[in-house]
Amino acid sequence: MSMEDRDERVREFELKWFDMVMEEYNSLRNEAGDSLKHQQSIINYGLTAIGVLIAFSANLWGKEHIVESIYVLFIPFMCNLIILIWNGEVRRMSRAGQYIKRIEEKVHRQFSSRIDINEQALEWETFLRKPKEEEAETQERSRLKRMLGWIEGLFSFLFQKDEERNNKIKSNYIAIIIMFGGLSVLSVLLAFGHNFSMYQKETSLKGPELLNSWAAAEYGWLILYGVLLLVDFLFFVYHYRYFQKVKK
């Protein structure tokens, strides 16, 4: 085999290799895009379902005890289910992004070994995963950014391990977890309020006497709602910690 034939075969192999790599790259890019669309659909459909439950319970407020089961069971269940399904899509997108970054690095190594070039041909996922520049010392941060940073720092202080502090989740992730987690906790609290309003209609007591009588008469339900509230809060903490481990 002549040198020219060998070089031609090498070039042909390199072109086939690059086509295979780009086919995989495009496939993973499409998967990440589909995952992002699914995340948005999950949130939209979830909010719609929760809105229907809230509207239904509002029409029955103060009339039926079934409202409390909606607040302590159905709405929290929907909120946690939405976060779990949404979290699966986030993990799927994260895995695709991590592997795309490896492809970008692999292509860059192949190019740089053959031609004198330092700039990557593909670098979107690599760019996304570069450390953020510290702009706080050189530019004045907006009020919204300071608020989000304060919230993130607060939850990191409460729930993160020291070795996990460098793996921070994005602000939109935090907002979604707080939105559904807070709605779930608030729903259980509304069950307390509804139970109190139903009992208040049945008695003429007022003030501390009313509260003491309510606690004595409904202590079984109040204990159950308290346990469900604690469980709901622990789920909220779990979701936050789970997202902290997602590789960006």
Taking only the tens place, the pLDDT of each residue in 70-103 is 999 999 999 999 999 998 888 888 888 888 888 8
pLDDT at 81: 92
| pTM for the predicted model, two decimal places | 0.74
Please indicate, yes or no, if residue 231 is contained in any of the structural domains.
Answer: yes
Mutual orientation of helices 75-114 and 171-201 as an angle, nearest 10°?
A: 180
Taking only the tens place, the pLDDT of each residue in 145-195 is 666 566 656 555 455 554 444 444 466 777 888 889 999 999 999 999 988
- The set of residues, in sequence order, having a beta carbon less than 8 Å from that of 226 and lying 6+ positions away, is none
Please indicate, yes or no, if residue 135 is contained in any of the structural domains.
Answer: no
Please indicate, yes or no, if residue 117 is contained in any of the structural domains.
Answer: yes
Taking only the tens place, the pLDDT of each residue in 35-50 is 889 999 999 999 999 9
What span, in angstroms and rounded, lies between the C-alpha atoms of 39 and 96? Answer: 15
Name the nearest CA neighbour of 197 among 79, 58, 75: 58
What span, in angstroms and rounded, lies between the C-alpha atoms of 16 and 12? Answer: 6
Please indicate, yes or no, if residue 97 is contained in any of the structural domains.
Answer: yes
The count of structural domains within the chain is 1
Domain containing residue 41: 3-130+142-244
Instruction: Compute CA distances 13 → 19, 21, 22, whole Å.
Output: 10, 12, 14
Please indicate, yes or no, if residue 155 is contained in any of the structural domains.
Answer: yes
Please indicate, yes or no, if residue 24 is contained in any of the structural domains.
Answer: yes
Give yes or no for a contact between 210 and 203, defined as CB atoms under 8 angstroms apart. Answer: yes
Please indicate, yes or no, if residue 41 is contained in any of the structural domains.
Answer: yes
Name the nearest CA neighbour of 134 among 156, 119, 149, 124: 149
Q: What is the largest CA-CA distance in the chain?
A: 105
pLDDT at 137: 42
Tokens of 6: 């060998």
Please indicate, yes or no, if residue 173 is contained in any of the structural domains.
Answer: yes
